Amino acid sequence: MGLLEDKVVLVNGGSQGVGSGTVRAAVREGATVVFTGRRAEAGEKLAADTGARFVRADLSDQAQARDSVVQVVAAHGRIDCLVNAAGLTSRGSLLDTTPELFDQHMAINLRAPFFAMQAAVADMTARKAPGTIVNIGSNCAHGGPPHLAPYSAAKAGLAGLTRNAAHAHRWDRIRINGLNIGWTDTEGEDATQRAFHDAGDDWREKAAAALPMGKLGQVDEIAHFVVFLLSDRSGVVTGSVIDWDQIVFGGQD
């Protein structure tokens, strides 16, 4: 028996990065998996590789964020687990962020999880059934670098939302947790490093040499942790926003 045997799981933002890793891990653990993404080619390939169902969606549209859950319930009769993994990391500081960029970050990094959670919790409570939700946050929720001002603001909001929703629905037996992940080796991060930081092909090696564990965070490691939090194996844990990183916040040299 896998950790998610007979569970219906939706991974929003599942066509690449941590979301893609979570799709693969959830399928391996026995779940029926639906995932969303904007890139049809990547989504269809992952669906073919895993047997999961791909739904193309633009989560910056709150109606599509809600509808991702509606489609899962329509197809499978219920949703047991939700993972909010979509993220926008485009750069912007306090001084140069435009209203348009700010709104893009809020739409993807905060509003989409809010309304997907709203729809998922509505289904769970209507059925009087337990469920689990994991929100993929960022260590930038603690402050973040100057060039990630709107991103940090949105991820701080997501951490607060995670705790608020977990408290509100603890008596419904709906467990809601978050992972504040650090610097992670994904295809999206590779594109970001090249686009915004003039990184060369050796950027991963340079980054790894400057990190305590000698490597960036790995997608499969994070995905295993997400599956654990979704599963009954994680027990009663709810309202936890875990710093999944090699930075020790509050530590001083």
Section 29-42 average pLDDT: 97
Least confident of 29-33, 135-139, 184-188: 184-188
Beta-carbon contacts of residue 217 (< 8 Å; ≥ 6 apart): 181, 182, 183, 184, 185, 244, 245, 246
Confidence band, pLDDT 50/70/90 cuts, at residue 199: confident
Query: Is the pLDDT reported for residue 189 higher than 90?
Result: no
Give residue-wise pLDDT tens across range 6-31: 999 999 999 999 999 999 999 999 99
pLDDT at 11: 98
Confidence band, pLDDT 50/70/90 cuts, at residue 190: confident
pLDDT at 1: 83
Active-site residue numbers?
A: 151
pLDDT at 96: 97
CB 161 within 8 A of CB 114: yes
pLDDT at 253: 86
Torsion of CA 70, 119, 134, 237, to 10 degrees: -130
CB 117 within 8 A of CB 84: yes
Among 166, 163, 155, smallest CA distance to 245 is for 155
Taking the C-alpha atoms of residue 25 and residue 138, their distance in angstroms, rounded to an integer, is 21
Section 121-141 average pLDDT: 98
pTM: 0.94
Taking the C-alpha atoms of residue 84 and residue 19, their distance in angstroms, rounded to an integer, is 8
Confidence band, pLDDT 50/70/90 cuts, at residue 226: very high
Beta bridge partners of 32: 8
Helix (H, G, I), strand (E, B) or coil at 215: coil
Beta-carbon contacts of residue 131 (< 8 Å; ≥ 6 apart): 79, 80, 81, 82, 120, 121, 124, 173, 174, 175
Taking the C-alpha atoms of residue 71 and residue 63, their distance in angstroms, rounded to an integer, is 12
Task: Give Cα separations from 250 to 153, 184, 224 (angstroms).
Answer: 19, 21, 26
Beta bridge partners of 34: 10, 53
Helix (H, G, I), strand (E, B) or coil at 201: coil
Query: Is the pLDDT reported for residue 188 higher than 80?
Result: no
Q: At what angle do helices 187-197 and 17-28 cross, to 10 degrees?
A: 170
Q: Looking at the chain, how many residues does it have?
A: 253
Give residue-wise pLDDT tens across range 83-96: 999 999 999 999 99
Section 33-47 average pLDDT: 97
Section 101-124 average pLDDT: 98
Mean pLDDT of the chain: 95
Confidence band, pLDDT 50/70/90 cuts, at residue 185: confident
Query: Is the pLDDT reported for residue 159 higher than 90?
Result: yes
Helix (H, G, I), strand (E, B) or coil at 58: coil
